[in-house]
Chains A and B, each alone.
Chain A
Amino acid sequence: MKKMIVGENILKSFGEGDDKRNVLDGVSVEINEGEFVSVMGPSGSGKSTLMFALSGMDGIDSGKVTFDGRDLSTLKDNELADIRRAEMGFVFQQPTLLKNLNILDNIILPSMRDHREDVSKITEKARLLMEKAGILELEKRGITQASGGQLQRVGICRALMNQPKIIFCDEPTGALNSKSANEIMGLLADIHRAGTTILLVTHDVKVAAKTERVLCMFDGQIAGEYLAGAYDETRNDLKSREESLTTWLAGMKL
């Protein structure tokens, strides 16, 4: 399987002097093309920081991150921005939408940067994605006129606009009720089935149980890795996947 992201001995610290703390303390990790990987761990273990480092959104103190064969630390800001725009998608815990734009405009925003396609084609594509996500009727609404779950779908549609190779999700269901969370995970599963790699940060076992591989972080390091295998809804084994994962996590003695 082709390696999409390779992180080698990543070191990232915050603070200075006595307050200095290694949030990522020599992390090495590989994400393969087409994988659905989740990162778990207690608060402050470095989950989100790892995601920001692997996506090139945040610099690292030492080590190396390679994305699709390119060493991110050697790239300039603009080159990183180009990669994020064309090859990556992001979904955050909060919808991170621009309040001055309506929902449709928020979704097409990253695609409009390049203007490679006709506006009507871009809009058409956005509408298709919105239809799939079940939010087509929201296109003209402002972002204060939709629910949290709906806004998270808006975020996912935006992440998909440029057909990214990978989607980074940081607690995408963290602010949602269980019904909305299930719907969002269903949507992400569909995207993964369509061939997109997904790296998802979560602390929710129910969410992680739906991913293929679980990385467990503790104190800035990867404490363990759990291979759950592909999740198939038709098998109805979610409960047992959750239990197995919970048992494994308990064994980690975090």
Chain B
Amino acid sequence: MYYRIIRNDILRNKAITLTTMVFVAAAAMLVSLAAILIINLSGAIDTLMTRAKTPHFMQMHSGKMDTGQLAAFAAQNGDVAEFQVLEFINVDGARIVFEKSSLADSVQDNGFSVQSEKFDYLLDLDGNMIRVSDGEIYVPICYMQDGSTKVGDTVEVFGREFIVGGFLRDSLMNSLLASSKRFLVSRNDFMGIGELGNVEYLIEFRLKDISALGAFETAYTSAGLDANGPTLTYPLFKTMNAISDGLMIAVILLVSVLVVMIAFMCIRFTLLAKIEEDYREIGVMKAIGLRVSDIKKIYLAKYAAIAAVGSLLGYTLSFVFRDMLLENIRLYMGESENASFALLFGIIGVLLVFLAIMAYVNGVLKRFQKISPAEAVRFGISQEKSAGTRLFRLSRNRLLGTNVFLGIRDVLARKGLYATMLAVLVISAFIIIVPQNLYNTISSKGFIAYMGIGQSDLRVDIQQTDNVSEKAAEIAAAMEADSTISKYVVLVTKTFRVKMEDGSEEQIKVELGDHSIFPIKYAEGGAPATGDEIALSVLNARELDKKVGDGITLTIDGQEKNLTVCGIYSDVTNGGKTAKAVFADPSADIMWSVISAELSAKSLIREKTAEYAERFGFAKVSDIDEYVVQTFGSTINSVRKASQAAVGVALSITILVTLLFMRMLVVKDRYSIAVMKAFGFTNSDITAQFVSRSVFVLLIGIVLGTLLANTLGEALAGVVIASFGASSFEFVVDPLAAYLVCPLLMVVSTLVVTIFGTLDAGRIKISENIKE
């Protein structure tokens, strides 16, 4: 009997059954993928960290080091299994030159090391310890992924040429979140580079039992050993390795939650509609003595069938996307040893989705208990009162057309039913508006000033070359003589040592010159005007723990120079860690120089860019728009694509759900439609009523979605923008797009879909539906 009931019901509501199944399949697929990814990721991390013999405790240290004291400590401490000190040579990115580009713009602290002997091995892509020959270099895997170089290419470091022998997996610094990256060279080559870069030490321990880590950390600190740098532990390495793919998994899980919610909404809508339709039958079944659990079985069986087919489909689909999503994990961490468990956990994930759906259906069906058999048999409809509709009477309606009134009244009278559609539309509006606002904010013309770039027309970069100051002076002289250039400024960037409060020293890049010519926006304070002032980028201010008005000490040629922080600004250039000052520094050690110029006529930009590029082959000449595109064009582009995709996804959800709901409503309301048609309402009247219903719900959805987007959405967007290095900005909303075009798109698609979805209403035969 169940089979027949289910089959008939499914055949009658093919569209809604199919859509619900699609959402269940999508949810099952995503949950299964997330489970598979989690297992693979954790397995791959374990494999990588086991093979690499990752240290349990690592103290980074710069400055003088007492190796003897460390060795003594290691020998005395009973928890220590192995101990070693590795040297890491920090090299400025501009000094590492691949065939196509240098790492000058790299946000990473790049450095060199040799293969360690005891543990913390650098592994090749097959998971084996690398043996590197002289003249050969192994490059961090992130530079393979971004296409910077490939095996067999040459890499120039301080003028020395190396051949890329392969790529390496580094269990400590693999993650893009780890700010350092290790290149591997042979010991002989390392000696050569060592003289040119800054040495940093990695003091590493492996313990006999990792559970003693807490006690060991305390022992290390209290022994007063070298600790001029951050301390890192095994669990932290594990977290860092997990985090970027972990974020992807988190996003998948979030999306799957959204999809499960939509699936729930579809089910809720269908069920509520079905219960209303079957109200009398349910009453009759109760009246003749069937238990609520027996009646529930009929409905549960149908959803069990839909959920089972959907889940199976989802699980099968997860195989299609699995390899694509595992690619990054495989690349960075290699294969997982427990990959076979992943399939099992995928099945468990799908089962959870299935069970969640069944539990939800069971929950919705609880309202059977409230149905009074007497009332149901007598009236055939629910006696629930709808607050708010008592005053909304046709006989009092003076404002709205009858069809519009009837549409709106229906929504108010059946709030529970339409709440489902409303929730989906609120989510859709949110998904459309937030990425749009984010895109508008970061692509607005004025935004670059918030990102540490002044608004000039032309920008000349001189780097990776000798005699930077002479070359800069040559260009400056040419500009001086050029009548089409209305103003220009030469800024030079040099590296200084900055003294930290604990006495340690760090390096800081300071851009020297007149910062008032092409000003940028300051989050706090303003541009340096006198020789004793310095402005810091947000990231540097955070790292150095400085506020406006604080003092900062730089070491210049062995001399200490005290400066006051006069401003803090957001910056996306050079990894976001920059500073600006105007003091004169005669030393010749210039890292790079930037000359910005403004032209008397904007029409000359292209011509002048070409002219200066031709004339000064050693310099990179770009117009500022092009520079912006190069600097964070890819980010803007990704956000643009994401926002377009979001519009597409949200519109698809809107269209699908509206279509579904409208078709469902037509089936459900066929009796009312037939009655109205019998009394002279035309097909277009019926369509107008349905359009009023959906547009009314949509308008509420858009208003709520926009409110949510501008509160919760803005907070979320703020987090994303802050990750680019900009901490303070005015949220730029394009009112035309956010409040007109996007809502209009939703309204138009809803209108079209509603009209399309209610076509069946015209085919409803009065005689067949007003049964005597």
Residues of A within 8 A of B (CB): 48-49, 52, 57-58, 77-78, 81-86, 88, 90, 92-94, 96-102, 104-105, 108-110, 112-113, 115, 119, 122-123, 126, 144, 158, 162, 170-171, 174
Interface of B is mostly: helix
- A57 and B679 in contact, given A48-B772, A113-B685, A170-B772 (Cβ under 8 angstroms): no
Known contacts A99-B381, A115-B402; A93 and B772 CB within 8 A of each other: yes
**B684 contacts across to A, CB distance below 8 A:** 78
Q: Which residue from chain B places its CB closest to the CB of A85 in the assembled complex?
A: B680
Set A49, A82, A84, A86: member contacting B678, Cβ < 8 A: A84
Cβ of B532 to closest chain A Cβ, rounded Å: 77
Stretch at the interface among B229-237, B318-326, B388-396, B606-614: B388-396
B383 interface residue, CB < 8 Å from A?
A: yes
- Residues in B with CB closer than 8 Å to A112 are 394, 397, 402
Give 7 new A-B contacts, CB below 8 A, not counting A88-B680, A122-B395.
Answer: A58-B766, A78-B684, A81-B685, A100-B409, A105-B395, A119-B397, A144-B379
A110 proximity list for chain B (CB < 8 A) = 679-681
**Segment 270-321 of B: residues with Cβ below 8 Å from A:** none
- How close is B127's CB to chain A, nearest CB, in angstroms? 68
Report the 3 A-B pairs with minimum CB-CB distance, sorted nearest first: A85-B680, A105-B394, A93-B772
Give the bracket for the number of chain B residues in contact with chain A: 20 to 34
**Could you tell me if A98 and B402 are in contact, using CB atoms closer than 8 angstroms?**
no
Give the docked Cα–Cα distance between A102 and B398 (Å): 17
* CB 8 Å contact bits of B655-685 with A (1 = contact, 0 = none): 0000000000000000010011111111111
Q: Which residue of A lies closest to B385 (CB)?
A: A142
Q: List 29 A-B contacts (CB under 8 A).
A: A48-B767, A49-B767, A77-B682, A81-B681, A81-B683, A82-B680, A83-B680, A85-B679, A85-B681, A86-B680, A90-B678, A92-B770, A93-B772, A94-B772, A97-B675, A98-B672, A100-B410, A104-B393, A108-B395, A109-B394, A109-B679, A112-B397, A113-B402, A113-B685, A119-B395, A119-B396, A144-B381, A158-B679, A162-B680
Q: Which of A52, A108, A119 contacts B766 (CB 8 A)?
A: A52
Given contacts A109-B394, A144-B381, contact A98 B675 (CB under 8 A): yes
The closest CB in chain B to the CB of A84 belongs to B680
Most buried by B among A96, A162, A171: A96
Q: Count contacts between A and B, CB distance < 8 Å.
A: 99
B770 touches A96 (CB 8 A): yes
Query: B residues touching A (Cβ–Cβ < 8 Å)?
Result: 379, 381, 383, 389, 393-398, 401-402, 409-410, 413-414, 672, 675-685, 762, 765-767, 770, 772
Q: Provide the residues of chain A in CB contact with B397, threshold 8 Å.
A: 112, 119
Chain B residues with CB below 8 A from A83, complex form: 680
Residues of A within 8 A of B767 (CB): 48-49, 52, 57-58
Measured between C-beta atoms, what is the minimum distance from B563 to chain A in Å?
74
Cα(A98)–Cα(B675), bound, Å: 8
- Give chain A residues whose Cβ lies under 8 Å from the Cβ of B677: 57, 81
| Contacting residues, chain B, for A102 (C-beta < 8 A) | 393
Q: What's the nearest-Cβ distance from chain A to residue B399, in Å?
A: 10
Residues of A within 8 Å of B679, CB to CB, are: 84-85, 90, 109-110, 158
**A174 to B398 Cα, complex, angstroms:** 38
Cβ–Cβ contact B772 & A105, under 8 A? no
Q: Chain A residues near B396 (CB, 8 Å)?
A: 119
A144: B residues at CB distance < 8 A: 379, 381, 383
Residues of B within 8 A of A92 (CB): 770, 772
B681 contact set on A, CB distance < 8 A: 81, 85, 110, 113
A171–B772 Cα gap in the complex (Å)? Answer: 8
Assembled-state Cα–Cα distance A113/B679 (Å)? 10
Q: How far is the CA of A167 from the CA of B353 in the complex (A)?
A: 56
Q: A100 touching B675 by the CB < 8 A rule? A: no
- Contacts of A77 on B, CB cut-off 8 Å? 682-683, 762
Please tell me if the beta carbons of B678 and A78 are within 8 angstroms of each other in the complex: no
- Please determine whether B393 and A113 come into contact, CB atoms closer than 8 angstroms: no
A100 touching B682 in the complex, CB below 8 Å, given contacts A93-B772, A119-B398: no
Residues in A whose Cβ lies below 8 Å from that of B675: 96-98
In the complex formed, the residue of A with least CB distance to B379 is A144
Task: Give Cα A108 to B402, complex, Å.
Answer: 11
B680 surroundings in chain A (CB, below 8 A) = 81-86, 88, 110, 113, 162
Nearest opposing residue in chain A for B394, CB measure: A105
Residues from chain B with Cβ under 8 Å of A48 in the complex: 767, 772
